[in-house]
């Protein structure tokens, strides 16, 4: 049975990266995952916050929906950020810190800004893929300038899996599909299959263990393909 956009259940949407979209940033990627568009920029700066100990660098991530990235306009988060934004920022930060060896970047702060221009489902996945690509670009630059000796970034990717209201499983949900899912799981893992993060964002329905296992397997199986796709576009400069 075909999905509304013609995909099969296990088919991913087209992924396009435009590297270096913002020329000021140390790393930059405009990611298009179907109709979802996220601009991810990586900034490198000298120095780390006071609470960071010792020899390591520091990494933090920020996530933001532009007001009209959604069907209804959303207010800018100018007085306080929403719980959803805070949660996604924590999730992104943890994932990137798991993949980047900060001991190789002493006294450096890495900030990853993911700004969603259009949100048609999968903004976390797109932020992770774009962040990986932009980090890759920023690290390449450090290597080529002789600033670091060892490659600090583990290959990883992300994918989402949905448990639909007809008990089927679908990969890479659009916004409309997401609204009709009982649960969805974002799987973040290394190319070799080690798990970086698993985040279930669904509500309202406990997931049978067998279903959960199937979702996890389905997601993990796509990770190597996703890594390949991203790597295939790292030279795709604006």
Q: How far is the CB of 148 from a copy of itself (least distance, A)?
A: 18
124 is annotated as contributing to ligand binding: yes
Q: In whole angstroms, what is the distance from residue 73 CA to residue 10 CA?
A: 31
Of the pair 25, 33, the CB lying nearest a copy of itself is at 25
Residue 27 marked ligand-binding: no
Task: Give the span between the Cα atoms of 161 and 153, in whole angstroms.
Answer: 25
Sign of the Cα pseudo-torsion (157, 18, 114, 119, in order) = negative
Nearer to a copy of itself, 2 or 209 (CB): 209
- Residue 42, both tokens: 């990586």
Query: Quick one: 31 or 146, whose CB is closer to a copy of itself?
Result: 31
Residue 7 or 97 having the CB closest to a copy of itself: 97
Eight-state DSSP code of residue 174: -
Do residues 45 and 29 lie in contact, with contact meaning Cβ atoms separated by under 8 Å? Answer: no
Question: Could you tell me the smallest distance in angstroms from the CB atom of residue 12 to a copy of itself?
Answer: 20
Nearer to a copy of itself, 138 or 170 (CB): 138
Closest CA to 137 of 60, 43, 32: 43
Is 123 assigned to a binding site? yes
Contacts with a copy of itself, residue ranges (CB under 8 A): 21-25, 28, 35, 39, 41, 43, 45, 62, 64, 66-71, 73, 76-81, 83-84, 86-87, 89-91, 94, 97-99, 111, 113, 115, 117-118, 154, 156, 189-190, 193-198, 200, 203-209, 212, 220
- The CA dihedral of 228, 230, 235, 236, to the nearest 10 degrees, is 130
Instruction: Report whether 78 belongs to an annotated binding site.
Output: no
Residue 1 CB, shortest distance to a copy of itself, in Å, is 26
**Cβ of residue 3: shortest distance to a copy of itself, in angstroms?**
19
Compute the least distance from the CB of residue 10 to a copy of itself, in Å.
20
Contacts of 198 (CB under 8 A, 6+ apart): 185, 186, 187, 188, 216
Cβ–Cβ under 8 Å, residues 92 and 112: yes
Q: Let me know the angle formed at the C-alpha of 184 by 181 and 188, rounded to the nearest 5 degrees.
A: 155
The single-letter DSSP state of residue 79 is S
Minimum distance between the CB of residue 54 and a copy of itself, rounded to whole angstroms?
14
- Cα(first)–Cα(last) distance of the chain, in Å? 37
In the complex with a copy of itself, the residue whose CB is nearer, 8 or 208, is: 208
Binding residues: 84, 122-124
Known binding-site positions for phosphate: 84, 122-124
């Amino acid at each position: 049975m075909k999905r509304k956009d013609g995909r099969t259940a296990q088919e991913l949407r087209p992924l396009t990266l435009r590297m270096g979209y913002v020329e000021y940033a140390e790393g930059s990627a405009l990611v298009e995952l179907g109709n979802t568009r996220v601009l991810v920029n990586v900034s490198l700066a000298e120095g780390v916050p006071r609470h960071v100990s010792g020899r390591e660098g520091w990494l933090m991530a920020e996530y933001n929906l532009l007001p009209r990235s959604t069907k209804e306009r959303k207010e800018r988060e100018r007085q306080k950020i929403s719980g959803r934004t805070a949660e996604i920022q924590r999730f992104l930060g943890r994932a990137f810190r798991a993949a980047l060896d900060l001991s190789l970047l002493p006294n450096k702060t890495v900030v990853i800004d993911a700004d969603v221009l259009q949100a048609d489902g999968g903004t976390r996945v797109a932020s992770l893929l774009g962040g990986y690509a932009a980090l890759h670009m920023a690290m390449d630059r450090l290597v080529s300038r002789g600033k670091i000796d060892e490659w600090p970034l583990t290959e990883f990717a992300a994918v989402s899996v949905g448990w639909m209201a007809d008990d089927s499983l679908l990969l890479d949900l659009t916004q409309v599909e997401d609204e009709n899912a009982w649960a969805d799981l974002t799987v973040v893992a290394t190319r070799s299959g080690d798990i970086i993060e698993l985040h279930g964002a669904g509500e309202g329905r406990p997931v049978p263990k067998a279903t959960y296992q199937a979702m996890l397997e389905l997601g993990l199986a796509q990770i190597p393909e996703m890594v390949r796709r991203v790597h295939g576009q790292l030279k795709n400069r604006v």
